[in-house]
């Protein structure tokens, strides 16, 4: 049976070149990067090389990259660290209703500490309303955080415009670029953001490695207290192998950005084929979306049941952000977009990768109608 993995938003397979870059630091080159002897300094050099590669991916300077344990930690550090560092100026913060849990819950934790948080609504495509931002922002707003692309519906946000509005009022801007990185070109200078989160494992790197871009000259209150690691901004002995792998993954992501058009073409073939099945609807914006992302509501078919049934055919898809899907039946993102709860349970997310082939898409399209048909026949909601 063919195995077709189309859940790259949950995680991507580890690239072999990434593994090769990591292995020396899991074997003989095990030194602590804070030690000045050769075993330590070669680990330190590996970290600094990786910092340069990650910075290059987003057109930043190496000194603007803080390595973290994950995209979630990067989001937490940005939200809590920037809010705390600027509390003297104001206690109002703005984010959107469709952020990842690591952003939403970081904001919720600040609400308990006396901060006032505005959660911006989205339209039916999952776009954050720029007009609503303009009316919500005040002179005491210190931080606006809106993701670059949504994991579940693929919609790209107007981050550049959002940054301009925020900066006019003196607020800083953070964007979660975990879903976008490696799938579209990212330039922190063109976007005009002050902070941006990345994760290695969604771009063919290892799990356990992330990074926060923080514009030079900005202060941030740390989350993890220790000593000199990451220039005194993130404590803990560095995950040298993970960081080395992240660096290689960033280099490969940049190199493979020219494959985006081929992926977009395959994605469009997939959308076209899936929509041939009756009562299937594309979610998210039809054009302003990640080029590897196709998401649907398959009426009367529970998203989790579809995900499992397709896996028995060797096809792996998603049905919501990994941490949401296990707990809630209905997607909070689809609910925020205005879908009723019953339909928001029927989410199916296909995210392609650079290894995805035409044969893979043809195989998925050969199985999808039958699997949906079988599930609908046993669904109490399906009315033929």
Partner 1 sequence: MPKQPEIKFVEGIVADAVEDVVYRMCPMHLMRLEERMKELRKGQILELQTDYEGALVDIPDWCRKTGNELIGVEDTGEFFKFYIKKTVD
48 binds partner 1 (CB under 8 A): no
- Torsion angle (degrees, nearest 10) of CA 288, 347, 330, 109: -40
> Rounded to the nearest whole angstrom, what is the least distance from the CB of residue 81 to partner 1 in the complex?
8
Judged by CB, which is closer to partner 1: 36, or 88?
Answer: 88
225 binds partner 1 (CB under 8 A): yes
235 binds partner 1 (CB under 8 A): yes
Taken in order 106, 292, 205, 365, the sign of the CA dihedral is positive
Judged by CB, which is closer to partner 1: 135, or 226?
Answer: 226
Of 27, 114, 131, 217, the residue at the interface with partner 1 (CB under 8 A) is 217
Strand (E) positions, the chain?
4-5, 65-68, 92-96, 116-120, 141-145, 172-176, 195-199, 210-214, 280-282, 293-298, 315-316, 347-351
Which range in 12-20, 51-59, 81-89, 299-307 contacts partner 1 by CB under 8 A? Answer: 81-89
227 binds partner 1 (CB under 8 A): yes
35 binds partner 1 (CB under 8 A): no
Chain center to CA of 343: 24
Judged by CB, which is closer to partner 1: 226, or 311?
Answer: 226
For 188-197, b where at least 16 C-beta lie within 10 A, e where not — what string?
Answer: beebbbbbbb
Q: Give the three-class secondary structure for 311.
A: helix
Of 233, 267, 293, 376, the residue at the interface with partner 1 (CB under 8 A) is 233
Catalytic residue among 2, 124, 308, 323: 323
DSSP string, 321-380: -HHHHTT-SS-HHHHHTT--HHHHT-EEEEE--TT--HHHHHHHHHHHHHHHHHHHHT-T
31 binds partner 1 (CB under 8 A): no
Which range in 169-177, 218-226, 289-297, 298-306 contacts partner 1 by CB under 8 A? Answer: 218-226
Q: Could you tell me which of 164, 174, 192, 170 has the C-alpha nearest to residue 88? A: 170
Which range in 152-160, 201-209, 214-222, 334-342 contacts partner 1 by CB under 8 A? Answer: 214-222
DSSP string, 83-117: HHHTTTT--EEEEETTS-HHHHHHHHHHHTTT-EE
Judged by CB, which is closer to partner 1: 143, or 260?
Answer: 143
Which range in 43-51, 229-237, 330-338, 346-354 contacts partner 1 by CB under 8 A? Answer: 229-237
Residue 173 to residues 28, 137, 169, 215: CA-CA distances in angstroms?
41, 12, 11, 10
Judged by CB, which is closer to partner 1: 84, or 201?
Answer: 84
219 binds partner 1 (CB under 8 A): yes
228 binds partner 1 (CB under 8 A): yes
> Rounded to the nearest whole angstrom, what is the least distance from the CB of residue 228 to partner 1 in the complex?
6
How would you list the strands of the sheet with 347-351, edge to edge?
280-282, 293-298, 347-351
Judged by CB, which is closer to partner 1: 225, or 265?
Answer: 225
88 binds partner 1 (CB under 8 A): yes
Q: Could you tell me which of 348, 359, 293 has the C-alpha nearest to residue 316? A: 348
> Rounded to the nearest whole angstrom, what is the least distance from the CB of residue 80 to partner 1 in the complex?
12
CB-CB contact of 277 with 369 (8 Å)? yes
CB-CB contact of 173 with 195 (8 Å)? yes
Chain center to CA of 127: 16
Of 31, 62, 170, 222, the residue at the interface with partner 1 (CB under 8 A) is 222
Residues that contact partner 1, how many (by CB under 8 A): 16
- Is 323 annotated in the active site? yes
39 binds partner 1 (CB under 8 A): no
- Which stretches of the chain bind partner 1, using CB under 8 A? 81, 85, 88, 217, 219-222, 225-228, 231-233, 235
Catalytic center residues: 323
């Amino acid at each position: 049976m063919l195995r077709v993995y189309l859940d790259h938003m949950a995680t991507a397979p580890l690239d072999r070149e990434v593994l090769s870059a990591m292995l020396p630091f899991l074997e003989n080159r095990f030194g602590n990067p804070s030690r000045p002897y050769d075993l330590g300094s070669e680990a330190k050099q590996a970290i600094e090389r990786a910092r340069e590669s990650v910075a290059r991916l987003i057109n930043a300077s190496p000194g603007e990259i803080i390595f973290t344990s994950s995209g979630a930690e990067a989001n937490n550090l940005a939200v809590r660290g920037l809010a705390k560092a600027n509390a003297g100026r104001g206690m109002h913060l703005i984010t959107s209703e469709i952020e990842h849990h690591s952003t939403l819950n970081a904001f919720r934790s600040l609400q308990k500490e006396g901060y006032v948080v505005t959660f911006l609504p989205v339209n039916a495509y999952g776009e954050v309303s720029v007009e609503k931002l303009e009316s919500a922002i005040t002179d005491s707003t210190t931080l606006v955080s809106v993701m670059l692309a949504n994991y579940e519906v693929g919609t790209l946000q107007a981050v550049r415009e959002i940054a301009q509005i925020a900066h006019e009022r003196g607020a800083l801007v953070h964007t979660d670029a975990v879903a976008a990185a490696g799938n579209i070109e990212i330039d922190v200078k063109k976007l005009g953001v002050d902070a941006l989160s990345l994760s290695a494992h969604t771009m063919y790197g290892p799990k356990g490695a992330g990074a926060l871009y923080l514009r030079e000259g900005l202060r941030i209150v740390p989350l993890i207290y220790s000593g000199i690691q990451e220039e005194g901004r993130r404590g803990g002995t560095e995950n040298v192998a993970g960081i080395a792998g992240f660096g290689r993954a960033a280099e490969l992501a940049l190199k493979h950005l020219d494959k985006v058009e081929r992926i977009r073409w395959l994605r469009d073939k997939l959308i076209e084929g899936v929509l041939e099945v009756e009562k299937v609807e594309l979610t998210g914006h039809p054009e302003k979306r990640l080029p590897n992302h196709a998401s649907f509501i398959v009426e009367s078919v529970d998203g989790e049941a579809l995900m499992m049934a397709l896996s028995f055919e060797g096809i792996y898809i998603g049905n919501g952000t990994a941490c949401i899907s296990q707990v809630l039946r209905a997607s909070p993102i689809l609910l925020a977009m205005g879908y009723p709860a019953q339909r928001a349970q029927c989410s199916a997310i296909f995210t392609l990768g650079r290894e995805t082939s035409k044969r893979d898409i043809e195989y998925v399209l050969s199985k999808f109608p039958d699997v949906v048909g079988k599930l609908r026949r046993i669904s109490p909601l399906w009315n033929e």
